Chain A
């Protein structure tokens, strides 16, 4: 960053001359000069020694421009406008399509999330950030943990894929959150529909596909430090990353640490049934947490081979609300209120270790992709030992332990025999080994092996009309292990005698499943409008707990009973996506109709087992429909308005809860956003003011044991700006965000704490600084 008398720095921006949109990835090449424009079109050339220099700015699809710059006392930002090269357009279509074009041509209805979106909207967890996307919501457990919900379905019905490998944790669990570092993610593709064809079992409601980051440019050395502070839960977060590439080898690394206290809710007391919990300073007692993540990757890139091996470890400890764990009300001698930062019982600790390798090899018309993965998820749940039923007081606090290893292999061949066809075949193999510990029993130990093979063809009927058809077959094997209580229960025999028996909670069983999935769709691009139509059949293998659990969940006051006769869950869905985008206006609509042949869920029965209500895994036919609409427009150049709405209707059409909805059904919700771009003020560059207003209707469609939830309105505002604090470097990005401006007390129907009448977090001011650096 030396700035001597003899050298000077050139800063500039590359824009599309017609749309005035920034052009990313333009090459700036001159004698001894090399730079590439960023997402915002900006580029910097450092240490120019001569008094003048010239360079060529080029980008595929644009006419190249040669620019000469003469050294001046005060260098102004150089603006370069490139004209689209219409004459070579046809050629470009064949050589390389823009990502946007590829997304348009695929009949699968998907939503792409950029790094810019993630930075602008970052919340406490990745899924909370993504919940701004219409059709995506979350099931939250406190302030730091959440799991994805797509169009009202979550848990194991949404696949989260990172670097091509399905994230495998304890996603069936109520109080489990996604163990993925939300920093350093550049690109996420969200599929809001059945996607078993490519992603296999579990992708029945959708996929959150976190894609590998872009390979750094030649001889690049980039990095960033992000600092985040929040007032509601006194959070302090730091994340630092660096990436570098020489010629063919590249390296990346990231460290993230977050530490937060109890979060505050806008109420002084919580009324749950007949209990009243007084809150100290509005703190939701014992919801503090901390998270430490590290990742490192090493990659190799050449003309024909790209390979990256990625190591990551996510470690978190989170406290659970002390007054009620699940539904169970607890009193304790622990002095929870002495500090809002300590994590006392009950809490959980989770560590997720992951190694993945992604390799692609291009040979002629074939591109082979290999994804290899190993994951270990280790989660422990601790609570104060208490006798329950016939169980005496356990000797320690370790209530549950899950230790799961998952080995994955995906092989995919993309074959492009001519310009019309994209023929993809692949296999996915996965092995899971789940072990349990602790004094509480919920799910058995199991091994699970799945193998699936698929083939699909995307056929270009004409340049604007694409057709996709694909089929897949899966075979799966689940091997559950028996489990006996560690304490005896009292059994009154029919002859009047009494026995004391270590009850069997799970059986030794081997079950196998086979399933066919398929998908077909059309995409039609007509001028500024894209139409998509897709019909798919997806499936989900029953989980070990759905099949074989047979135990008491004291915290939920229920006895959970599996069912060995469950079939693989099958779902049929019709998706439509229409998108119309012009310079001023963009509107989109994505309705769907969905039918489950056998939706598996935990049904509360009217019977008791040892005074606990029996909940039984049952399957029922379910009919669903819904969708999202969105519209955005730009007024007076600087003001962008966005509106979106999401709705899902679900109804069980057979079984014990016929005519009821499904558990955790999200209510009708709309989001209105205004984004105003100010002129440069003082040293604030590109200041933007954003206001998000969410209006959510009441949820009156419930299923036992849920409560109806009233509607709410919440306002969030944020201010984004860039600052040129360091010479010769990229600008520092600052974000100031105020969530829940009016400290509104409201309930989220899909929050884990909703059942005990805990409102959502109160007002929160967060300040985030991102300091980038590069060589």
Chain B
């Protein structure tokens, strides 16, 4: 094979592709935060019964490899059995029913100071004038990179 410019061109092009493969010394955050209620004080646990008018401390542990940013708590009804939780327990659900005045709890919070571990501890009072029945409590947490973790727990609100 004579080394005509053609072959140099080929080799150059192959080198161009091969050489610049990833220079992964950049410290990128590729880890999601974690969220858990699976400890003694974690609340709510799967299938827990909440009584109207009572105040409960909603507690979950969140961690991240770099820096936590925000979390949210969402309580919505599951009267139509639209989904189930991601916990191991399976709860007895009431019959499907129409929502009249369901509890809608939608709140966001931020976590300051670049913490890598934090315990969510938020008191929530269950109003007395809402529909009793099956509900979901969904926690979610983000880190400063924009990774998110979620968990969802089946709960029941009773009179």
Contact = CB atoms under 8 A, between A and B. Distances in A.
Contacts of A587: 10
Interface in A586-604: 587, 589, 591, 593, 603-604
A330 B83 contact: yes
Given A273-B86, A606-B70, A611-B106, A649 B21 contact: yes
Given A589-B10, A659-B26, A274 B151 contact: yes
Q: Is the interface of B mostly helix, strand, loop or mixed?
A: mixed
A393 interface: yes
A332 to B, nearest CB: 8
Interface string B2-39: 00001001100110110011100010101000000000
A410 B39 CA distance: 66
Given A390-B106, A392-B99, A607-B69, A274 B146 contact: no
B144 interface: yes
A529 B6 contact: yes
B94 interface: no
A580 B80 contact: no
A591 B99 contact: no
Nearest to B76: A387
A606 B16 contact: no
A576 interface: yes
Given A578-B10, A626-B17, A649-B22, A608 B70 contact: yes
A331 B147 CA distance: 26
A613 B16 CA distance: 40
A604 B146 contact: yes
B143 A606 contact: yes
A526 B86 CA distance: 64
B28 A659 contact: yes
B8 to A, nearest CB: 11
Nearest to A625: B20
A630 to B, nearest CB: 12
Interface string B139-158: 01011111110110000000
A78 interface: no
B107 interface: yes
Interface string A497-511: 000000000000000
A647 interface: yes
Contacts of A75: none
Nearest to B68: A606
Contacts of A626: 17
Contact of A609 (B9, B99, B108): B108
Given A611-B73, A611-B74, A626-B17, A274 B142 contact: no
A626 to B, nearest CB: 7
A608 B140 contact: yes
A704 interface: yes
Nearest to B111: A606
A57 to B, nearest CB: 37
B91 interface: no
Contact of B84 (A329, A389, A593, A605): A329
B16 A591 contact: yes
Nearest to A389: B106
Interface in B81-116: 81-84, 86-87, 99, 102, 104, 106-108, 110
Interface string A644-671: 0001010000001101100000000000
A91 interface: no
A321 B37 CA distance: 29
Contact of B72 (A333, A526, A529, A611): A611
A580 B73 CA distance: 62
Contacts of B77: 387
The interface size bin for chain A is 35 or more
B22 to A, nearest CB: 7
Nearest to A386: B82
A705 B148 contact: yes
A393 B80 contact: yes
A610 B109 CA distance: 10
B51 interface: no
Nearest to B86: A274
B138 interface: yes
A663 to B, nearest CB: 12
Contacts of B138: 611
The interface size bin for chain B is 35 or more
Contacts of B17: 591, 625-627, 629, 647
A578 to B, nearest CB: 6
A702 interface: yes
Contacts, number: 129
Nearest to B107: A611
Interface string A328-345: 111111000000000000
A701 interface: yes
A274 B145 CA distance: 23
Nearest to B30: A702
Contacts of B147: 604, 704-705
B114 to A, nearest CB: 11
B148 A613 contact: yes
Given A390-B106, A526-B6, A606 B144 contact: yes
B104 A578 contact: no
B101 to A, nearest CB: 11
A704 B145 contact: yes
Contact of B148 (A388, A656, A704): A704
A606 B146 contact: yes
Contacts of A328: 83
Nearest to A623: B20
A531 interface: yes
Nearest to B15: A591
Contacts of A705: 146-148
Interface string A380-394: 000010111110110
A55 interface: no
Q: Which of A526, A612, A625 has the most CB of B within 10 A?
A: A612
A330 B136 CA distance: 13
A389 B138 CA distance: 12
A275 interface: yes
A389 B104 contact: yes
A627 B150 CA distance: 38
Given A330-B83, A386-B80, A701 B9 contact: no
B134 to A, nearest CB: 12
A475 interface: no
Contacts of B16: 591, 593, 625, 627
B13 A331 contact: no
Contacts of B99: 387, 392-393
B31 to A, nearest CB: 10
Interface in A315-353: 328-333
A613 to B, nearest CB: 5
Given A390-B106, A607-B70, A613-B148, A274 B9 contact: no
Contacts of A526: 6
A330 B81 CA distance: 9
A701 B74 CA distance: 32
Interface in A356-402: 384, 386-390, 392-393
A656 B86 contact: no
A557 interface: yes
16 contacts: A333-B81, A531-B9, A580-B6, A589-B14, A591-B13, A591-B16, A591-B17, A607-B110, A611-B73, A625-B16, A625-B17, A627-B16, A627-B17, A629-B14, A657-B145, A705-B147
Going nearest first, the 7 A-B pairs with the smallest beta carbon separation are: A606-B69, A274-B86, A611-B72, A608-B108, A604-B146, A611-B74, A606-B142
Given A329-B86, A627-B13, 6 more contacts: A389-B76, A578-B9, A603-B146, A606-B144, A608-B71, A704-B147
